[in-house]
Structure 1
Amino acid sequence: MVTTQLPPPSGPETLHEQAVEFPDNRLLIDLCGEYDRNLADIERTLGVQILRRGNQLVVIGSEAETITAVEVLRALYQRLETGKAVESADVDRELRMGNDTVESGTRDGDQLEMFKGGRVEIKTRKKLVEPRTDAQKAYVQSLFGNELAFGIGPAGTGKTYLAVAVGVSMFIEGHVDRIILSRPAVEAGEKLGYLPGDMKDKVDPYMQPLYDALNDFLPGKQLAKLIEEKRIEIAPLAFMRGRTLANAFVVLDEAQNATSMQMKMFLTRLGEGSRMVITGDRSQVDLPRGVTSGLHDAERLLRHIPNIAFNYFTARDVVRHPLVAAIIEAYEADSATG
């Protein structure tokens, strides 16, 4: 890969050109993406123009943006050279986080050996998961490094997805014997009435986001077998009372909809050899008016206890869809002025 600095063209606004040569044409095609989609994403985000000339990509733009674009292209090409694919999420991650490298020296791939400054990767049976923002990276490191961690922020920031990914990774590596995922069974602002079927049929609609995350990380047959053997449990928060959750990776999702008593009950289930993650969005409380959110109380009461980590996300960390970030920012701005 050769980089050539071209002389800046003359004009009222000084633009810079930088050419980068990519020796493997097959990898260059993958770098550009289908219909040059990856290049278009970089152009749109950084405000540059990228031209393809043979096995070179020429970046044209302001000096700072040109340098950034070249660094992103190099990082993505290096990713392809290691045998990994480049998808839209990978382009987005490089644009947000820059060219970190995976920290070497972890023992036998054991992800409990903490990363000091490089890229964090979560290995599951079906895919390799990588944080796409600095806040996500710090969150994942916190999940590996603390027995109790909170992830608090708006929808679409990957709080639950990353927590489940870490849980699956730790389960695969033998650090925990079980994965337990829970949510309060609270309706989001509308009454759904009586649902037909047995207890599982009634609560499964509330738990579906957790099933969706697990399906991303484990093959279907293996997941079904683990659920049947109760090595993976997905249950409403009310079912946690009276249990001691030992040697388990435990996730409470949508914690803003737990009452203070439910939150206390859940937190005190933590047993020997377990890790617990609490995720929630303070702006989406569906509890009846006048009922205090247990997530709010937990923040207030536990903030200064050692070995409990609080991780916060903002609209800048939304990775679900660009419009989601814009929507969240619009509602936050309206709340601030109201």
Structure 2
Amino acid sequence: MDIRALTPPPNTEEAEETLLEFPDNRLLIDLCGEFDKNLTQIEEKLSVQILRRGNLLAVLGESGAREKAAEVLQALYVRLEAGQSFEPGDIDGEIRMGDSEKDTGIRDGDQLEMFRGGRVEINTRKKTIVPRTEAQNAYVQALYQNEMAFGIGPAGTGKTYLAVAVGVSMFIGGHVDRIILSRPAVEAGERLGFLPGDMKEKVDPFMQPLYDALADFLPGKQVAKLIEDKRIEIAPLAFMRGRTLSNAFVVLDEAQNATTMQMKMFLTRLGEGSRMVITGDRSQVDLPRGVTSGLHDAERLLKDIDSISFNYFTAKDVVRHPLIAKIIEAYDRDDARL
């Protein structure tokens, strides 16, 4: 990479712009996007103006905003040089992330596929996943560092998605022999009655979000083959009783809907060579009135135990549609008034 920042001399009319030179014009075209849509996104988010002059990009605006825009453009260009594409959410992620940190040296054998500038990159068969917020970055680091990790926060913050991505990465790297994904089969406030079909057909509707995550990281035929060989298991929480889960990457999704006894049962399944991730949203408990969430009790009882991490997300970490963050904040404000 050879990106040069050409800062004009002070006390001139051009002192309010930063010039960036990109040597590969083909990559520069990809960086700008169709009809410069990528540049427009950065301009709107950071209140700057970006002008293209040959293989130069001129960033105009206030000093801090210019510097941040330059960092974002350079980071995205590095991704293109490495053969990686990016989408609007990745641009937003680069904007959200703080200034690049020095490599902290965190390693877990060679399980971190890439760790640069304090950022973790998760390599899977279909794509490379890069955390889009500081909380996501800390969460992914915790997944690699700890045998048991909790991710707690609102919907849309990437808790389950990132956990499955790390599980796939560790499986591909040979660090675990299988992936086990589970969630309580609890209806979200509706009574669906008896569902037709065999056991798999009955529980699959509850497990669909986990299938969706896997499909993002592995080819469909490979997922089907691994499920057939039981190297990937997707099962309701109730099916975990009596098992010892060794050499596996285990994810419990929607853990707020596990009872205290179910949570204790699940946590004590951890075997040698395994990693366990528990994700949940305390604001979306679907248990019957009067039944305590096992996630609440686990958080209270386990927070001081070494090798168990707790990572928290807020509406600021939502990486789905921007409107979701506003919806979550509105509900949070209403809850605070009650």
**Other-structure match for 2:53:** 53
Structure 2 vs 1, CA of residues 158 and 332 (structure 1 numbering), >3 Å: closer, same or farther? Answer: same
The whole-number CA distance in structure 1 between the counterparts of 2:247 and 2:6 is 55
> Mean Cα displacement is larger for which, 109-118 or 304-313?
109-118
- CA displacement 1:96-147 (0-9 Å, x = unmatched): 1146489598999922589585221111111111111111111111111111
SS at match of 1:120: strand
CA contact 1:5–1:17 (8 Å) conserved in 2: yes
The whole-number CA distance in structure 1 between the counterparts of 2:74 and 2:138 is 24
- CA apart distance, 1:154: 0.5
The whole-number CA distance in structure 2 between the counterparts of 1:179 and 1:155 is 23
Partner amino acid, structure 1, of 2:5 = T
Structure 2 vs 1, CA of residues 129 and 102 (structure 1 numbering), >3 Å: closer, same or farther? Answer: farther
1:192 aligns with 2:201: no
1:234 aligns with 2:230: no
CA contact 2:122–2:166 (8 Å) conserved in 1: yes
**Other-structure match for 1:146:** 146
**Other-structure match for 1:37:** 37
CA contact 2:112–2:120 (8 Å) conserved in 1: no
**Other-structure match for 2:305:** 305
- CA apart distance, 1:62: 1.3
The whole-number CA distance in structure 2 between the counterparts of 1:309 and 1:248 is 18
- CA apart distance, 1:317: 0.8
SS at match of 1:244: coil
> Mean Cα displacement is larger for which, 206-215 or 101-110?
101-110
Structure 2 vs 1, CA of residues 9 and 288 (structure 1 numbering), >3 Å: closer, same or farther? Answer: farther
Structure 2 vs 1, CA of residues 111 and 327 (structure 1 numbering), >3 Å: closer, same or farther? Answer: same
**Other-structure match for 1:254:** 254
CA contact 2:84–2:128 (8 Å) conserved in 1: no
The whole-number CA distance in structure 1 between the counterparts of 2:105 and 2:145 is 17
**Other-structure match for 2:137:** 137
CA contact 1:114–1:144 (8 Å) conserved in 2: no
**Other-structure match for 2:314:** 314
SS at match of 1:284: coil
Structure 2 vs 1, CA of residues 40 and 114 (structure 1 numbering), >3 Å: closer, same or farther? Answer: closer
> Mean Cα displacement is larger for which, 55-64 or 289-298?
55-64
**Other-structure match for 2:97:** 97
> Mean Cα displacement is larger for which, 159-168 or 102-111?
102-111
CA contact 1:178–1:247 (8 Å) conserved in 2: yes
1:159 aligns with 2:159: yes
CA contact 1:2–1:20 (8 Å) conserved in 2: yes
> Mean Cα displacement is larger for which, 158-167 or 20-29?
20-29
Alignment of 1:163-182 (within 5 A): 163-182=163-182
**TM-score if structure 2 supplies the norm length?**
0.93
Partner amino acid, structure 2, of 1:260 = T
- CA apart distance, 1:90: 2.4
CA contact 1:102–1:119 (8 Å) conserved in 2: no
The whole-number CA distance in structure 1 between the counterparts of 2:107 and 2:259 is 41
CA contact 2:171–2:178 (8 Å) conserved in 1: yes
In percent, how many aligned pairs have the same letter?
A: 75
The whole-number CA distance in structure 1 between the counterparts of 2:109 and 2:56 is 36
CA contact 1:112–1:145 (8 Å) conserved in 2: no
1:273 aligns with 2:266: no
Partner amino acid, structure 2, of 1:308 = I
**Other-structure match for 1:86:** 86
The whole-number CA distance in structure 2 between the counterparts of 1:317 and 1:231 is 32
Structure 1 unaligned spans of 5+: none
CA contact 2:184–2:258 (8 Å) conserved in 1: yes
**Other-structure match for 1:66:** 66
- CA apart distance, 1:25: 1.5
- CA apart distance, 1:63: 1.5
Structure 2 vs 1, CA of residues 15 and 316 (structure 1 numbering), >3 Å: closer, same or farther? Answer: farther
SS at match of 2:149: strand
The whole-number CA distance in structure 2 between the counterparts of 1:113 and 1:69 is 27
Partner amino acid, structure 1, of 2:210 = L
**Other-structure match for 2:4:** 2
CA contact 1:19–1:56 (8 Å) conserved in 2: yes
Structure 2 vs 1, CA of residues 205 and 87 (structure 1 numbering), >3 Å: closer, same or farther? Answer: same
Instruction: Number of aligned residue pairs: give it.
Output: 335
The whole-number CA distance in structure 1 between the counterparts of 2:201 and 2:160 is 22
The whole-number CA distance in structure 2 between the counterparts of 1:60 and 1:114 is 33
Q: Please, what is the CA RMSD of the aligned residues?
A: 2.4
CA contact 2:186–2:287 (8 Å) conserved in 1: yes
Structure 2 vs 1, CA of residues 89 and 103 (structure 1 numbering), >3 Å: closer, same or farther? Answer: farther
- CA displacement 1:220-278 (0-9 Å, x = unmatched): 11110110011100000011111111111110000000000100111111111111100
Structure 2 unaligned spans of 5+: none
Structure 2 vs 1, CA of residues 113 and 65 (structure 1 numbering), >3 Å: closer, same or farther? Answer: closer
The whole-number CA distance in structure 2 between the counterparts of 1:108 and 1:257 is 31
